[in-house]
Amino acid sequence: MALSMSSFIAMSVGSRELAQTLSIRQVLFFRALVGLFVIAPFLPRLWPELRQMRSLKLHLLRNFVHFTAQYFWTIGVVLLPLASVFALEFTAPIWVAFFAWGILGEKLTRARILANIGGFIGVLVIVRPGFEVIDPAAGLVLLAAVGYGLSLVLVKRLTRDCSPAAIVVWMILIQLPLGLAAALTDWRPVHMTDIPWMLVAGAGALSAHFCMAQALQRLEASIIMPVDFLRVPLAAIAGYLLYHERVDLFVFLGAAIILGSNFQAMRAERRA
């Protein structure tokens, strides 16, 4: 999970830099394209598993949901204050707990519910969003959060039949044509200076999803996702180091709430 969170931050930084010169749709496409080049050397070894096409319909559903969620979330990044986007996005673990209960049959324990609530409160403390005006883009980000929650639960279901590596390969193979079709409708000139950020965004995305699939294979989804709240304070620190964004006491107060909520939940799980 630590490597997954670090990779998600790298992907976010790379995507943020790319969005300064390319369209959002191109960013999604190039992330998938870089991922294809990274996984290409491993395809022969994975081919025996891939050709069996296990759970292909579930792969298609998961990746369509995930791609749509990515697109909605990126629209929110462009149209909304970043603090509001983060606050809305981190409703996803609440949906993970709900979908894990409905689809995977995981127990929706009191400890897990409290961990999610505590984590969400911690995020609100960090970003302190204002919701005075209801923007339609906020609805898209909320839909993206629902999509991310469903996507992660579907990944957990896929780990019963597929290896984490195969799940990531199917993600690239399905989302690459989706990204290309979208990018061609809003194509902008690509410059040599974009290539390093493509590599950062693409490699970060691939690593993040592979590590997340590994974690989901080993632990229940509703245990993992509250820990993912830590991505917010880590992103705040990265923003300070890379972009000189201000980090204040609320970041560390929110992180303390998140850590405390998860610590209590894990203690309760061990005792159960």
Per-domain residue ranges of the chain: 2-271
> What's the pLDDT at 46?
84
Amino acid at 175: Q
pTM: 0.77
Question: Which pair of tokens denotes residue 232?
Answer: 């917010």
pLDDT higher than threshold 80 for residue 156: yes
What's the chain's average pLDDT?
81
72 or 96: which leads in pLDDT? 72
114 or 197: which leads in pLDDT? 197
Highest mean pLDDT among 75-84, 140-149, 238-247: 140-149
> What's the pLDDT at 83?
62
Lowest mean pLDDT among 29-33, 49-53, 146-150, 268-272: 268-272
